[in-house]
Amino acid sequence: MKYIVLAETYSELERIPSKLKKTEIIAKLFKETPANLLEAVTLLIQGRVFPSWSEKEIGVAEQLMIKAIAKSAGVSAEDVVKDYKKSGDLGLAVETLVGKKRQRTLGSEQLTVGKVFANLQAISEHSGGGSQDRKLDLIAELLSQATATEAKYIVRTVLEQLRVGVAEGLVRDAVASAYNVPVDDVENAWNLLPDFGEVAKAAKEGGEKGLKKFKLRLGTPFIVQLAEKSPSLKDAIESYKKVLLEYKYDGMRTLIHKKGEKVWLFTRNLENITAAFPDLVQLARKNIKADDCVLDGETIGLDRKTGKPVPFQQLSTRIKRKYDIEKSVEEIPIDVNLFDIVYLDGKNLMELTLEERKKCLAKSIHSVSGKFHVAEGLVTTDLKEADAFYKEALKAGEEGVIVKDLNALYVPGRRVAGGWLKVKPVMENLDVVIVGGTWGTGKRAGTIGSLHLAIRDAESGKFLECGMMGTGLKEKTQSERSSAAPRAKGATESEQDGSVTLKEMTKLLKPLVEHEAGSLVKFKPKIVIEVAYEEIQKSPTYISGFALRFPRFIRLRPDKSADEADTIERVKTLYGQQKGKK
């Protein structure tokens, strides 16, 4: 299969915004792809060379890419940089440079998908002394055989900047359409083995039946079960007949796969964190009695001195650590709270009830208090008892409770299955001021990409930053999307109901620009918005000393001036009220 087929598909995908059309284009590509190239094509179409859960990465910096382009186009690095500066995209730079230099000479060999994929994978194999030269050769070899269009996409793939708008959902739908199988079957198979190469191959060769045969595989992460929000503890415990309440720990979802002495660790985002947590690997090796199993749980970080849980933010510094891992092990000790088992010695336990799985879990581990044990839980349907347990969880510094149906099976997948309900204290919304932001890039250039939020210091009258928010705003107004909603005479839609589109927000902010540096921009503090958030955290990053975790846009507050925004005092009070704080 020629790489130009893929490159032309990218071009098409870039031009076409419609998801439906994109799905058709990708489905057509999959149909043309032979089984032995499905792994390569399903990854490359997403701009990947390895699945998201692989520990391998290409790891090529811009500087090296500039050298590779210069070498293959026969120009100087300065020439490449000059072109790069014009467009801000090395993909476009190489397209121009290769385009100038040559048309493909007749008879010269055309790049194949297999060759491109092999070279890109090989790039990650090289590390240490002399590796840069070898990486450069692998890229330059491809670029020197590529047409201008091919070169553009090779460069973007290597730099992990493909951006043709192909998310997992599109690939899933395209697999279903290409091989005429139900989307749900594709999704279910992918939940167990999130690798579209394998899923597509099974669909191509075995249809629905092939997909139904999918099993969890030791050493490959699956898509974990998630909890749904419940409006109240009462609602939650009334939802099931047999109820188990568990602490909702504020930590890192941890999937432990064990096969004999070999242990792998994954997060809920399929990240492989085995190397970053040697202490956890050790605990698992020592305290899991079963030979082969997969355990599900939440790991929290502990304060070395007090032994109390530290905020997730602190533990998360361990996730990305590549160096000084031993030091971080000492600095932030961990406590692993296990709450499920989904695989045991060759058997898939997802089809057992939680009650049965809990029995298997208890039998499969040695409990080590404060380090590696079953999560704190209580079986009850009595609201008073449940409430006391909930309060105990908050007092212990945890986020709340998860209420679980003891009769439910384990259902992997991003769509919520209903067997787990989370109950957390509801945080009151805050009215904050927009004081800065960043401009979007690519298609979103010229619109605001993220917003810097601030609260008011009543004493000094200053606005102190307390968080950043991806705008979460809709691209179009309701009336642009469908039939126009009736609107009060003279009022814009946003003024009427506080909703606002990205375009409208940009228009509101543009006249307020005070200062710009690159894509960063400062605004005069004028616009007040109401935001919801998950939690208030102490933070050294923001001048207010607090950070709103996961702020979400609720509505504009055109009725409020900046002087009426919420104050730092209010944030302090809310912070104090939120759980028995750490």
Closer residue to ligand AMP (CB): 382 or 550: 550
* Pattern 444-483, ligand AMP, x by CB under 6 A: ----------------------------------------
Task: List the beta strands (DSSP E) in 180-242.
Answer: 228-229
Pick between residue 249 and residue 410 the one whose CB is nearest to ligand AMP. 249
**101 near ligand AMP, rule: CB under 6 A:** no
Nearest to 74 by CA among 134, 148, 140, 149: 140
Burial class (CB in 10 A: 0-12, 13-18, 19+), 426: exposed
Angle at 34 between CA 32 and CA 36, to 5 degrees: 150
Q: Which is nearer to ligand AMP, 249 or 343 (CB)?
A: 249
Q: How many CB atoms lie within 10 A of CB 249?
A: 26
The residue from 222, 339, 410, 463 that contacts ligand AMP (CB under 6 A) is 339
Task: Give the per-residue contact string, 37-56, with ligand AMP (x = CB under 6 A; - = no).
Answer: --------------------
Per rule CB under 6 A, is residue 312 in the interface with ligand AMP? no
The site string for ligand AMP over 114-153 (x = CB under 6 A, - otherwise) reads: ----------------------------------------
Determine how many CB atoms are found less than 10 A away from the CB of residue 363.
11
The correct pick among 39, 185, 298, 530 for binding ligand AMP (CB under 6 A) is 298
Q: Which amino acid is at 294?
A: V
Cα–Cα separations (whole angstroms), residue 337 to 308, 430, 464: 14, 33, 37
Under the binding rule (CB under 6 A), the answer on residue 95 touching ligand AMP is no
Neighbouring CB atoms inside 10 A of 350's CB total: 20
C-alpha to C-alpha distance for 487 and 497, rounded to whole angstroms = 9
408 binds ligand AMP (CB under 6 A): no
- Looking at the Cβ atoms of 227 and 434, the one nearer to ligand AMP is 227
Helices (H) and strands (E) in the chain, counts: 22, 20
166 vs 216, beta carbon nearer ligand AMP: 216
Q: How far is the CB of 256 from ligand AMP (least distance, A)?
A: 14
Taking CB under 6 A as the rule, does residue 533 contact ligand AMP? no
Lookup: tokens for 529: 């918005």
How many Å apart are CA 43 and CA 162, to the nearest integer? 12
Strand partners for 187: none
Q: Which of 256, 402, 421, 502 binds ligand AMP (CB under 6 A)?
A: 402
Q: Which of 115, 422, 552, 582 binds ligand AMP (CB under 6 A)?
A: 422
Tell me the C-alpha distance between 362 and 276, whole Å: 27
Using rule CB under 6 A, residue 253 touches ligand AMP:
yes
Which residue out of 22, 152, 204, 248 is catalytically annotated? 248
Q: Is 405 in the site for ligand AMP (CB under 6 A)?
A: no
Q: Is 424 a catalytic residue?
A: no
Q: Which C-beta is closer to ligand AMP: that of 240 or that of 339?
A: 339
Q: By Cβ distance, which residue is nearest to ligand AMP?
A: 253
For 161, other C-beta atoms within 10 Å of its C-beta total: 14
Q: Smallest distance, Å, CB 210 to ligand AMP?
A: 30
Out of 115, 126, 163, 268, the residue judged to bind ligand AMP by CB under 6 A: 268
Question: Nearest distance from residue 224's CB to ligand AMP, in Å?
Answer: 7
Q: Which is nearer to ligand AMP, 247 or 372 (CB)?
A: 247
245 counts as binding ligand AMP under rule CB under 6 A? no
The pattern of x and - marking residues 346 through 385 that bind ligand AMP according to CB under 6 A reads -----------------------------x----------
User: Interacting stretch for ligand AMP, rule CB under 6 A, among 11-19, 119-127, 183-191, 244-252?
Assistant: 244-252
Which of 339, 316, 331 is CA-nearest to residue 419? 339
266 counts as binding ligand AMP under rule CB under 6 A: no
Choice between 172 and 248, CB closer to ligand AMP: 248
Asked if 279 touches ligand AMP (CB under 6 A), the answer is no
227 is an interface residue for ligand AMP by CB under 6 A: yes
How far apart are the C-alpha atoms of 224 and 13, rounded to whole Å?
30
Over its C-alpha atoms, the chain yields an Rg (Å, rounded) of 27
Q: Least Å distance between CB 246 and ligand AMP?
A: 4
Tell me the window of 129-137, 206-214, 246-254, 572-580 that interacts with ligand AMP (CB under 6 A).
246-254
Nearest partner of 534 among 409, 454, 415, 426, judged by Cα: 426
State the minimum distance, in angstroms, from the CB of residue 339 to ligand AMP.
4
Instruction: Name, in order, each residue with C-beta under 8 angstroms of 61's C-beta and a sequence gap of 6 or more.
Output: none
CB 276 within 8 A of CB 301: no
Angle at Cα 533 formed by Cα 226 and Cα 334, nearest 5°? 55
What 3 state SS string does 286-355 have? HHECCCEEEEEEEEEEECCCCCCECCHHHHHHHHCCCCCHHHHHHHCCEEEEEEEEEEECCEECCCCCHH
CB 449 within 8 A of CB 468: no
| Sole window of 73-81, 97-105, 241-249, 285-293 interacting with ligand AMP (rule: CB under 6 A) | 241-249
Based on the shown chain and the rule CB under 6 A, indicate whether residue 524 belongs to the binding site for ligand AMP.
no
Q: Where along the sequence are the contacts to ligand AMP (CB under 6 A)?
A: 226-227, 246-249, 253, 268, 298, 339, 375, 402, 422
Q: Which residues are catalytic?
A: 248
